[in-house]
């Protein structure tokens, strides 16, 4: 996941330790600390784990993030991993997670116009149907783990992007343990 501390909190450490050994978990952590913070597809789609940042006014800023590194408590790398969209706000506000920001639909539009891009693809939040659009389909949140942490009945989604940058989704249904309703 995003950092060693988060991996411990959400069970990845325990899983590695129980099934294999702590050395394997440390190896994964080293790899995670080297992964790129974001990627672009066809110069029109930006992908990251979390979200955009008030510190991001040029994509070169992402290239300037030093890797490998631990995730800091604030700043561009923190936001790329942990910022979240929020329907009920405009602009930026502190996240109730205690780290990074929440950003409104207006910030997605502003960012995409500034960067001359069309779409942001992110993860970081459980989505009941595996994906959810935001800001007039300018941002999509994908969640690729069905039945997250064995605590949710969420589906998972995988996005396919063709050579013309047309997007489609494959849904991995949750294993339903009880009654389920969608509103």
What are the distances in angstroms from CA 60 to CA 11, 31, 45, 65, 72? 34, 22, 15, 9, 19
Is residue 120 within a helix (H) or strand (E), and if so which, with residue range? strand 119-122
State the chain's maximal CA–CA distance in angstroms: 48
Cβ neighbors of 183 (< 8 A, separation 6 or more) are none
Which listed residue (1, 49, 61, 124) is catalytic? 1
- β-strands 101-103, 92-94: how paired? antiparallel
1 in catalytic set: yes
**47: exposed, middle or buried (Cβ count in 10 Å: 0-12, 13-18, 19+):** middle
Catalytic residues: 1
């Amino acid at each position: 996941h995003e950092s060693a501390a988060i991996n411990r909190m959400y069970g990845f450490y325990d899983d590695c330790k129980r099934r294999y050994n702590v050395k394997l978990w440390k190896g994964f952590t080293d790899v995670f600390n080297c992964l790129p913070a974001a990627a672009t597809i066809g110069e029109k789609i930006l992908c990251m784990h979390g979200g955009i940042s008030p510190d991001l006014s040029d994509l070169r800023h992402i290239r300037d993030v030093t890797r490998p590194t631990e995730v800091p408590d604030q700043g561009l790398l923190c936001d790329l991993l942990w910022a979240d969209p929020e329907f009920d706000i405009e602009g930026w506000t502190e996240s109730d997670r205690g780290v990074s920001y929440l950003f409104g639909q207006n910030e997605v539009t502003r960012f995409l116009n500034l960067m001359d891009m069309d779409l942001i693809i992110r993860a970081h939040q459980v989505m009941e149907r595996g994906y959810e659009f935001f800001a007039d389909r300018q941002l999509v949140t994908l969640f690729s783990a069905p039945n997250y942490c064995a605590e949710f009945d969420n589906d998972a989604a995988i996005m396919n992007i063709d050579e013309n940058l047309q997007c489609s989704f494959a849904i991995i249904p949750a294993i339903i343990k009880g009654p389920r309703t969608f509103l």
